[in-house]
Amino acid sequence: MSITSAMYSATSGLTAQSKALASISSNIANTSTTGFKGTVTEFTSYINKTTTVDEQVGGVIASNTRNINSQGEIQTSSVTTNLAVNGEGFFVVSNETADGGTYFTRNGSFSADSDGYLVNSEDYYLYGWKLADDGTVGASNKTSVDSLEAINLSNIKGTPKATTTESLEANLPSDAETGDDFTTDIEMFDALGNSHSVTLTWTKTGDNSWSLDASDPVSSSDSTATTGTISGFPIDITFNSDGSLASASQNGTAVDPSAISYSVGGWTTGASDSTVSLDLGTADGTDGLTQYASGESDPDIGDWTATQNGYEPGTLTGTTIDGSGVVRATFDNGETRAIYQIPIATFANADGLDSESGTTFTQTYESGNYQLRTAGDGKAGDIEAGSLESSTVELTDEFSRMIVAQQAYSAASKVMTTAQDMLDTLISMKR
C-alpha cells in the first residue's frame, strides 16, 4: 500500500467516525424526547484491489440506522390524553385535520388544542375510527387509513335517552289492612329528554295479594300539568306465604314479574311514544318486591328504591381512554358514550420505515404495507392512557460509543500526520 493509499484509508476513517459522533450527539440531545428511537452507526469495510499481486487499499463506510422497533420505558403522566403503546405498533397521525399526509408515531404526548383536536408535541393530529351510537365502527373499510378521521373532543354533545326500563325494590307491609293503599313516585324521561313523574298506587286486595295502578305522567317541574297517557295498568301482584314475590298478571293474563311492559303515548312535549319494561323482581325471589310485616302501628311501604335508565341531555365533563383504544365521553347526566377508537398500525418490518423525525415515520417498500388493528389484537400492543414512552437512548452506551469514536478518530488523524511526515522526508531527499 502506498503512502497516499494510507491517507485515503485514514480519511475514510475520519469521515466514518465523524458520522458516528453525529449520531451520538443526536441521541444524547434526544434523551428526554418522548418516543424517540436512537440511532446506531454501522461500519462496513471495503477493499479495493489495485493489482493482481498483493496490494490492496482498505477503507471503511459508515451508515446510521435507527432501531425503530425498540421499546422505550413506559412512564406515567398526569395528562389523561397522553398515550403509550406497550408492545408493537404505532399511532396513525397526520399533519392536517383532513386530507393531509399519513404518518406513524410512538410519540403519544397528545393533548387537545384550541379547536379540540388531539395533537402531539410535534403538531401531528391523532386519527381514529369514529364510532356509531351503538359503539361500533361506522366506516365500511376498517383496513384503510381513509376510514380514519382526526379525533376532536370539542364538538361532543350529550344526547337524551328515553326511559325503557324501570326496576322497583320495596317491601309491601303484610300487616296492612285489606283495602289500604299507599303511593310512591317514579321519574321517567321521554325521547326528548324531558323529565316526568308518575305516581304509583299500591292497594292491598287480600291476603298476599296487591294491585298496582299508575297515574298519567305529569311534568316534574309542574305537577299540575299532565304530559301523557299511560296504559298497561292495573297490575295484580301475589306473594308467597314466606313473603317472596309469587306472580303478576296484567289484564287478567299472567306475566313475568321481571318484564312487565307498559306504555305512555300522547306526550305533550312532542316526543315519540314510550314503551317501558317494568321489573318488579324474580318470581319466588326477594330481589324486587317483598311482603313482610312493617312492625309499625301505621304500616307503610319500606325499603323503597326505584331505578330507571333514561336521562336528560348532558354537558361533557371529561373523556377516558381504555386499553383497547376506545375514547369515551362522560357527561354530567351520568351518560358515558364511546365516540372514537384509536387503531394501532403494525408493519412486517418496522425498522424499514423512513424517518420523518426521530419519532415520526412514513411507510416504505422495505417496511411493507401498514395493517390497522385494534389495540391488543394480534401483534398490536396495548394502549396505556396517562402514560408516555420514553426515549430508547441509554446514556451509558452513548458515552462508551463516544470514547471509541474519539479514540478511532485520533488514531486515524495520527495516520494522516505520519503519512505527511513520510512525504516530507521523501521530498527532502530530492533536495
pLDDT tens readout for residues 337-373: 899 999 999 999 998 999 888 789 999 999 999 999 9
Task: Retrieve residue 356's grid coordinates.
Answer: 420523518
Handedness of CA 403, 405, 408, 412 (dihedral sign): negative
Instruction: Give the residue extent of every domain in the chain.
Output: 3-67+392-430, 75-154+347-389, 165-308
Model confidence at 55, in pLDDT bands (50, 70, 90)? low
Q: What is the per-residue pLDDT across 251-290, written as a single tens digit (0 to 9) for each?
A: 889 999 999 999 999 999 999 999 999 999 999 999 999 9
Q: 130 is written with which cell numbers?
A: 369514529
User: Which pLDDT band holds residue 1 (cuts at 50, 70, 90)?
Assistant: low
pLDDT (mean) for 113-124: 92
Helix (H) or strand (E) holding 399: helix 395-430
Reply yes or no on whether the pLDDT at 58 is more than 90. Answer: no
Q: 379 with 122: CB under 8 angstroms?
A: no
Q: Distance (Å, rounded) from C-alpha 372 to C-alpha 363?
A: 13
Q: Is the predicted pLDDT of residue 185 greater than 60, yes or no?
A: yes
φ, ψ of residue 417 to 5 degrees: the values are -70, -35
Residue 240 carries which side chain, given as an amino acid letter? N
Measure the CA–CA gap between 393 and 38, rounded to whole angstroms: 5
Fold exhibited by the domain 165-308: Tick-borne Encephalitis virus Glycoprotein; domain 1 (2.60.98)
Q: What is the mean pLDDT of residues 175-191?
A: 95
Scanning 90-233, the segments in alpha helix (DSSP H) are: none
CA distances from 260 to 163, 165, 234 (A): 14, 10, 11
Other C-beta atoms closer than 10 Å to the C-beta of 13 total 22
Mean residue pLDDT across the chain: 89
In this prediction, residue 53 carries a pLDDT of 52
Confidence of residue 394 (pLDDT cuts 50, 70, 90): confident
Kindly state the average pLDDT of the residues 10-15: 82
